[in-house]
Amino acid sequence: MARKVTISVPEDLYEKMSKWRDSFNFSNVFQKAISTLIQKKEDFQSRIQQELDQSAVIERLRQEKSQSENNYYDVGRKDGLKWAKNAHYDDLQYALRWVPDEKPTQDRVLGDYFAGVIAGDDIMDYAVGSDPVCVNEFVKTYIDGWKEGISDFWHEIRDKL
């Protein structure tokens, strides 16, 4: 149902409208103009809301990523400590000097160990790019923790040897 609306216009606009009354349906012109303006305003508000929603999603994912990375670091640290307790002295010395690279599964001493760890974890097993031996950020975080676990173990026992 159509509703009547009264609008006010300045005198000079009213005079021009009076001259062109037969050429324009002012009701339709007004309806189209107002509909367009309202649509633009609604679209703008929708974009703002989507950006706010997207910002909230991004912040949540950042927090979850940080928690996940911390978990991989802690697991790596515990595994490094466990590995160090069982490692041969020469392997332990190698691991202490070892500098991780992009392909830890190909290391001559530690490669088999890391290949097994990575294959046993769905997230770490996800390879970056097309090269199946490249590691992702979770593997790197795990290895950082692993190296710290080995280092902590060594600092505890080295003076007792």
pLDDT digits (tens, 9 = 90+) for 51-80: 778 888 888 888 888 888 789 999 999 999
Residue 118 has a CB neighbour count (10 Å cut-off) of 22
Give me the mean pLDDT over the 43-47 stretch. 84
Q: What is the mean pLDDT of the chain?
A: 89
In terms of residue numbers, what domain contains 138? 66-160
**Does residue 61 form part of some domain?**
no
Tell me the percentage of the chain whose pLDDT exceeds 70.
94
Give me the mean pLDDT over the 27-46 stretch. 88
**Does residue 18 form part of some domain?**
no
Residue 110: the pLDDT is 96
Residue 137: the pLDDT is 87
Residue 51: the pLDDT is 76
Quote the pTM value.
0.61
Domain count, the chain: 1
**Does residue 126 form part of some domain?**
yes
**129 — pLDDT class (breaks 50, 70, 90):** very low
**Does residue 127 form part of some domain?**
yes
**Does residue 6 form part of some domain?**
no
Count CA atoms closer than 13 A to 74's CA, side-chain side: 6
**Does residue 97 form part of some domain?**
yes
Signed CA dihedral, 56, 58, 61, 62: sign only: negative
CA–CA dist 158, 24 (Å, integer): 95
**Does residue 139 form part of some domain?**
yes
**Does residue 121 form part of some domain?**
yes
Higher per-residue confidence, 41 vs 50: 41
pLDDT tens digits for range 101-119 = 888 989 999 999 999 999 8
**Structure tokens, 80:** 């490094």
